[in-house]
Chains A and B, each alone.
Chain A
């Protein structure tokens, strides 16, 4: 079974802190994604990566950065946490799939981040 593991289930941080959310997958997937999920807004893509050291902005990258130094690990960084970044953060991974198609994305268990 594919396993995507996020480092923390629950996290409480103070405004202005630098926050690291870690994600590791064990299926040698090329693609990795970070989403945040808020009530009524669904899943919104923050950043994604299709290869080591490669990153692309998603729909809401402001206030976030990412790092992918190894294929299995994709980190989300909140440079200076703010209260509006309180959310559920979900990491996902997938294989590249055929041209024009997409294979399924497997999700980690989620990190519920509260910024106070």
Chain B
């Protein structure tokens, strides 16, 4: 079992819709969770970090964390074509470094 799992997609949503990206992790001791966005041919850039159970909102982005279910998600409201990218979930477990999921490719259709 992979330590951090994401649906690879591709996930397609129409412009203006809500895009929902999901991530599960195996290390129950994990305390730090991150969402990165990666455009094709570019390096990952941080969108959100979340450390506590519940929701964290930043503009059109909402990260949701449920440690009991070992689940973290990213919601993108009012999706725009410029949101089309691969979204990487990263988790810091008991190890000292981040572990990344394989990413979900999102396409927002105009």
Contact = CB atoms under 8 A, between A and B. Distances in A.
A105 B103 contact: no
B86 to A, nearest CB: 9
A35 to B, nearest CB: 8
A7 to B, nearest CB: 14
Do most interface residues of chain A lie in helix, strand or loop, or is the interface mixed? loop
Contacts, number: 53
Contact of A109 (B43, B49, B99, B103): B43
Interface residues of A, number: 24
B34 to A, nearest CB: 6
B10 to A, nearest CB: 13
B101 A45 contact: no
Contact of B97 (A40, A41, A45, A110): A45
Interface string B28-43: 0001101000000011
Interface stretch (A11-19, A60-68, A73-81, A94-102): A94-102
Given A97-B32, A109-B43, A42 B88 contact: yes
Interface in A22-64: 33, 35, 40-45, 48, 50, 56, 58
Given A45-B99, A48-B97, A102-B31, 18 more contacts: A33-B97, A33-B98, A35-B100, A41-B102, A42-B88, A42-B100, A42-B101, A42-B103, A44-B100, A101-B31, A102-B98, A104-B34, A104-B46, A105-B34, A105-B98, A107-B44, A107-B45, A110-B43
